[in-house]
Amino acid sequence: RQPLTLPRLKALKAKGEKIAMLTAYDYPSARLAEEAEVDILLVGDSLGNVVLGYDTTVPVKLEDMIYHTRAVVRGAPGTMVVTDMPFGTYRLGPEATLRNAVRLMQEGGSHGVKLEGGADIADEVKRLTSAGIPVLGHLGLTPQSVLQIGGYKVQGKDRAEADRLIADARALEEAGAFGIVLELVTEQVAAAVTRAVGIPTIGIGAGRGCDGQVLVFHDILRYGSGIRDKRFVKTYADVGETIRAAISEYVGDVRGARFPEEKNGFALDDQAAKEFID
Ligand code: KIV
Ligand code: NA
């Protein structure tokens, strides 16, 4: 399997075929996602929330994203991998932003980067795309600005917000972005943005009209405590409960001396022990 290319991605929109994107942060999850034929893996800075235990994405560093991208790329060598540029690593002017994006590509092994913002970062997006870096935009609710926005609120609720989102989407397309994530945008406005641009939109909490969808790995699997049930998430498995029950059984087995059993050990006279010692 070969990673998706940008021309093939654009063709999916033209043909009306939906794009399935999922986040991943490590080797085993990336491997499983590739086996399940996910189109694009996003090493999201949601890493901060679901893997590192921060309240927001603001504390996530470039080094964190590089480290986790490397693991994802090792797990999914045949899948397109896009990495979030974390808070504070862009909006620094085109040259500094380019240097940071290059690190994600060269040290992380990513196939592209994602930045939150629209017309206000068009010059930086243009610098990246003109250097050959595939860029995915991100509009609507932009979690890196949550401290300014004052919470995780739905965007695109009136005509003015709709017009601004469409203008931002066109600015990103003009700057060479290959797609745009639309997060927590009303269904009608997300559909209007999708019609307004030739590049694919990938929605999360943005209704049925987008060209693709993205969700967070830990959310669809209920993997990890503290993840609130969100209306825009569909839960496909309760892996958290499976893991908790399994660990609890292991702890009980150790305390009750039911594990290890004779077969889990090595007797002096058996062949396995000899091989192990040799
Ligand atoms: O960080 C992330 O997981 C994201 C997606 C939710 C789009 O940006
Ligand atoms: Na993100």
Residue 226: what pLDDT? 56
DSSP class of residue 132 equals T
Q: How far is the CA of 43 from the centre of ligand 1 (A)?
A: 8
181 and 139 in contact (C-beta within 8 Å)?
Answer: yes
Residue 225: what pLDDT? 56
Question: Is 253 annotated among the ligand-binding residues?
Answer: no
Does the C-beta of 23 come closer than 6 Å to ligand 1?
yes
The ipTM (two decimal places) reads 0.99
Total length of the chain: 278
pLDDT tens-digit profile of 236-254?
Answer: 999 999 999 999 999 999 9
Nearest CA to ligand 1 atom 8: 44
Q: How far is the CA of 108 from the centre of ligand 2 (A)?
A: 16
200 and 13 in contact (C-beta within 8 Å)?
Answer: yes
Joined together, the tokens standing for residue 252 give 């009980």
- The DSSP result for 5-59, as a single string, is PHHHHHHHHHHT--EEEEE--SHHHHHHHHHTT-SEEEE-TTHHHHTS--SSSTT
- Please tell me the chain's helix, strand, coil percentages from 3-state DSSP, rounded to the nearest 5: 45, 15, 40
Question: Is 45 annotated among the ligand-binding residues?
Answer: yes
pLDDT tens-digit profile of 161-187?
Answer: 999 999 999 999 999 999 999 999 999
Does the C-beta of 46 come closer than 6 Å to ligand 1?
yes
Domains, the chain, ranges and CATH?
6-237 (3.20.20.60), 241-277 (no CATH)
Q: How far is the CA of 131 from the centre of ligand 1 (A)?
A: 24
Residue 98: what pLDDT? 98
pLDDT band at 255 (very low <50, low <70, confident <90, very high): very high
pLDDT band at 224 (very low <50, low <70, confident <90, very high): confident
